[in-house]
Amino acid sequence: MLLATLLAAAASPAADAGSQECFSLIAGRAATACGGVLLAHNEDNGLADPAGFRMFPRPKEAAGAAYACLAMPGCPESDLLLNEHGVVVASNNCPSREDRPAPPGGGIAGPELRHRVAREARTARQGAELIGALVEDRGYAVSGRTYLIADPREAWLVAVVRGKHWVAARVPDDAVAVLANTYTIGAVDLADGARFLGARDLQEYAARRGWHDPSQEPFSFEKAYANPETRVAASNTHRAWRGLARVAGMAPAPGTTPLPFCVKPAAPVTVASLAAVLRDHYEGTPFAAPPGVSPHNGPVRTICVPRTNSASIFQLRASQPAPIGIVWWLCLWQPCSNPFVPLYPWAGPPPAAYALDPGDAAAPAYRLFGDRARRIDADYEKRIAAEGRRLRDLEEATHALQPAVEEAARAAWAANPERARELLTRFSWGTIARAMEDGAAAPSDAR
């Protein structure tokens, strides 16, 4: 088996200082139409660094160590990782109010936590426990971050704070959690180990620092530990509100703090419905950009922004073998302008167009879709109608064909796993070829 390297988005040590931000959703398996967990993530860390897949041989001595990656070599802070057990780990910058220095020795920084999860965790809970153990042992060096960890059966959010404080909350199976760039875990009951994990002195430490008064109100992790400014920043509250509203059909008004940790969806969540959220620019609301202006330039930061270098939706299903049930829907550059294509990492590698070259130059597909996004955004209002139809046609055809392809792969699996893998890889590569053909065509004002 090969070791693939995952989505390391453009981050630097400054990322945890708040200069780079992302947006994520997780849907529990009872909240989705496919019966699996879905994790969606916009990587908003900028466009300067090269991007592409890297494939590495699986270490012989490391059982269960295969993991997949779209890498940006210069920015490992925001790697998005998927291992062979279907464990995904992503993260969002979430500044804390902790103003004390990093732990002695510097603490953990960079991509170590997520790579340890990818190498060692067989379940999302194991990943949450591993992060907690490492933070308590060595400390965390930067302000704050929330890790999103999912597998085909469950999902967790793990919030870490500079020093040795952390908390994890399980996403209910019938709900969807939304995360911008501030902590969202509120009430915490560490006695309920099925739903919460964390440092034992969370409340005591917050009270000692003056961040929480137990005589006045119940403990809320996000209220006590989040940076007070980013906690109420419109760039965070409005994106979170919009995600919740699109999933649930309604949500508290934008600016309400705190927003709920999760909501029950108005309808079963699908890959297509999460893609629509990742593409959102507040269309139809007072926060949308005025006519004639790029939708990315409205009065409030949107979910899809010019800094979005990639968008991913992980479809994780336990009902079938991992090569069939684990699908990485990937969009390079802004999802409003480019398509999501299906990758089956454990059926076969992506085509060479998605790979970094030996000198770490960007993958050809990354450059192609970047050019397309820039051309569309130069005259977005005129061009997106026609180009949006092309995107919808491609994606609707792909979603319509997916069940038949996977059924054929399941039928072949027992007797001929390689034939099953071939079917999935041909489906994936064929979709990518059509997407790149569309991407190479200059957007027009009408077709």
Question: For 5-19, 78-92, 295-309, 429-443, which range has the lowest pLDDT when averaged over its residues?
Answer: 5-19
**pLDDT for residue 6 is more than 90:** no
**Pair type for strands 88-93 and 140-150:** antiparallel
Q: What is the mean pLDDT of residues 22-36?
A: 98
Burial environment of residue 206 by CB neighbours within 10 A (0 to 12, 13 to 18, 19 or more): buried
Instruction: Enumerate the domain spans of the chain.
Output: 2-359
Q: What is the mean pLDDT of residues 85-94?
A: 94
Q: How far apart are CA 148 and CA 150, in angstroms?
A: 7
Amino acid at 51: A
Q: How far apart are CA 43 and CA 51, in angstroms?
A: 12
Write phi, then psi, for 120 (nearest 5 degrees). Answer: -115, -25
**pLDDT for residue 288 is more than 80:** yes
**pLDDT for residue 46 is more than 60:** yes
Q: What is the mean pLDDT of residues 106-123?
A: 91
Whether residue 203 contacts residue 214, with contact meaning beta carbons closer than 8 Å, is answered with yes
Rounded (5°) CA angle 243-304-342: 90
**With a threshold of 0.85, does the pTM exceed it?**
yes
Question: pLDDT grade, residue 119 (50/70/90)?
Answer: confident
Whether residue 412 contacts residue 420, with contact meaning beta carbons closer than 8 Å, is answered with yes
Q: Domain 2-359's class?
A: alpha beta
pLDDT at 352: 87
Q: What is the mean pLDDT of residues 330-350?
A: 93
**pLDDT for residue 16 is more than 70:** no
**pLDDT for residue 194 is more than 80:** yes
Complete edge-to-edge strand list for the sheet that includes strand 52-57: 2-5, 52-57, 70-71
Q: What is the mean pLDDT of residues 51-74?
A: 63
Whether residue 253 contacts residue 241, with contact meaning beta carbons closer than 8 Å, is answered with yes
Write phi, then psi, for 234 (nearest 5 degrees). Answer: -60, -30
Question: For 100-109, 116-125, 247-256, which range has the lowest pLDDT when averaged over its residues?
Answer: 247-256
Question: For 74-83, 236-245, 248-257, 408-417, which range has the lowest pLDDT when averaged over its residues?
Answer: 74-83
Q: Is the dihedral of CA 229, 234, 240, 241 positive or negative?
A: positive
Question: For 39-48, 161-170, 226-235, 404-413, which range has the lowest pLDDT when averaged over its residues?
Answer: 39-48
Whether residue 114 contacts residue 91, with contact meaning beta carbons closer than 8 Å, is answered with yes
Question: pLDDT grade, residue 15 (50/70/90)?
Answer: very low
Cβ within 8 Å of residue 420, ≥6 positions away = 321, 323, 324, 347, 408, 409, 410, 412, 413
| Residue-averaged pLDDT of the chain | 89
Percent of the residues in the chain that have a pLDDT greater than 70, as a whole number: 88
Question: pLDDT grade, residue 429 (50/70/90)?
Answer: very high
pLDDT at 5: 31
Question: For 73-82, 220-229, 272-281, which range has the lowest pLDDT when averaged over its residues?
Answer: 73-82
Report pLDDT digits (tens) over 147-177.
999 999 999 999 999 999 999 999 999 999 9
Q: What is the mean pLDDT of residues 331-339?
A: 94
**Pair type for strands 21-27 and 176-179:** antiparallel
Question: For 74-83, 281-290, 417-426, which range has the lowest pLDDT when averaged over its residues?
Answer: 74-83
**pLDDT for residue 11 is more than 60:** no
